[in-house]
Amino acid sequence: MIGKKIGIDLGTANSVVFVQGEGIVFVEPTVVAIDVNSYKVIAVGKEAKEMIGKTPDNIVAKRPLRNGVIADSRVTEALLKYFFDKALGKTRFIKPDVVISVPAGITTVEQRAVLKAANAAGAKNITLLPEPLLAALGAELPINTSSGNMIVNMGGGTSEIAVISLDGIVKYDSLRVAGDAINEAIIAYMRKRKGVLIGEQTAEKIKFEIGSALEMEKPLKMEVRGRDIGAGVPKAVMADSNDIAQAVKMPLRKIIQSIKGVLEQTPPELSADIIDRGMVMSGGTAKLRNLDRLISKATGVPAHVANEPIFCVAKGTGIALELIVSGQRIFVFEKNLS
């Protein structure tokens, strides 16, 4: 494993790890369970996510990232160390070079927090690159040309809309409304309209199993189990795709407004390219049924879901690694060579 290089899509909800020469090696929830008394890490990833909402008082299962940026540096450090160990093995003679995805709207202070956590976890050369650029690379858009390419990358914590040309972001907007906000909207709807209190994991399950951005003629249905708001006892209710379409209207409206804002600011020559090619959607939220149709209808610009949208950013980190190592391309964002 000497000299191996890693790409990490460090997402709010899930993180994807790419290893040079091997491709995507694993996907893990960005969750860490810690003992609050000793601050010892109990579990990371899938095992920690299963603990959410089920732990005793002394154990907290938490996400160290909020809205795509570090909310707890010590926990993020433990998470990154776990990723390095799982990808490369615990015995390493040389610290790995790492490309990490971060939101395009990240502040200098937030950048330093990522660099510090990665250094402490055992990384050597750390390159931070914006998620929209990496997502566009992973979606195989020709971003090194002078034509306009539009990417709408919707993860767990952030939605980032960018117009890219000549390996640079021309116009962008970073919106802290994405998959988590949709989950919260579903929780609120179920509480208000169905009288049942559900948790975050149940909301996510509903979103992917029956969720839709538009109402459907033949909606999918599922039984939802939670706690009765009034009686406080377990309760099961039926929900369908049209319920979810109603629930998620507000967060999706905000994403569409952001897309329209970026389109309005885009130079005319690049706008012409985008109208011809359309925009590409990536990230886990892009998998929501009929979201491409809703965005196309609202903006007048064709919207296409990328192939394997959840892996676009991770694939982009791998492509960026190869291009940087070979000297074929230079991506400027933020770099630390400590």
Q: Give 102-167 as a DSSP string.
A: E-TT--HHHHHHHHHHHHHHT-SEEEEEEHHHHHHHHTT--TTSSS-EEEEEE-SS-EEEEEEETT
**What is the C-alpha to C-alpha distance for residues 50 and 179, in angstroms, rounded to an integer?**
18
Question: 285-299: b or e for each residue (b if 16 or more CB lie within 10 Å)?
Answer: bbbbbbbbebbeebb
Q: Which two tokens stand for residue 141?
A: 């858009």
R_g over Cα of the chain: 20
pLDDT value, residue 3: 66
Half-sphere exposure of 116 (CA within 13 A, CB side): 12
Q: How many other C-beta atoms can be found within 10 angstroms of the C-beta atom of residue 99?
A: 25
- Contact between 15 and 9 under an 8 Å Cβ cutoff? The reply is yes
Q: Which residues pair with 17 in a beta bridge?
A: 8, 26
pLDDT along the chain (338 residues), means of 10: 79 91 91 88 89 86 84 88 88 84 88 92 90 95 94 94 93 93 97 95 95 96 95 94 97 97 95 95 96 97 96 94 79 47
- Contact between 28 and 43 under an 8 Å Cβ cutoff? The reply is no
**What is the C-alpha to C-alpha distance for residues 337 and 175, in angstroms, rounded to an integer?**
30
Q: What's the length of the chain?
A: 338
Beta-sheet strand order (sheet of 334-337): 23-29, 14-19, 5-10, 97-102, 125-130, 334-337
**What is the C-alpha to C-alpha distance for residues 82 and 140, in angstroms, rounded to an integer?**
29
Q: Is 238 exposed, middle or buried (0-12, 13-18, 19+ CB in 10 A)?
A: exposed
**What is the C-alpha to C-alpha distance for residues 143 and 138, in angstroms, rounded to an integer?**
11
Q: CA-based diameter of the chain, in Å?
A: 65
Q: Which helix (H) or strand (E) holds 109?
A: helix 108-121
Q: How many other C-beta atoms can be found within 10 angstroms of the C-beta atom of residue 5?
A: 22
Q: Is 231 helix (H, G, I), strand (E, B) or coil?
A: coil
Check: pTM over 0.85? Answer yes or no.
Answer: yes
pLDDT value, residue 333: 58
Which is it for the CA torsion 71, 320, 7, 325, positive or negative? Answer: negative
Q: Is 178 helix (H, G, I), strand (E, B) or coil?
A: coil
Half-sphere exposure of 183 (CA within 13 A, CB side): 18
Of the candidates 260, 334, 246, 248, which has an alpha carbon nearest to the alpha carbon of residue 297?
260
**What is the C-alpha to C-alpha distance for residues 62 and 43, in angstroms, rounded to an integer?**
11
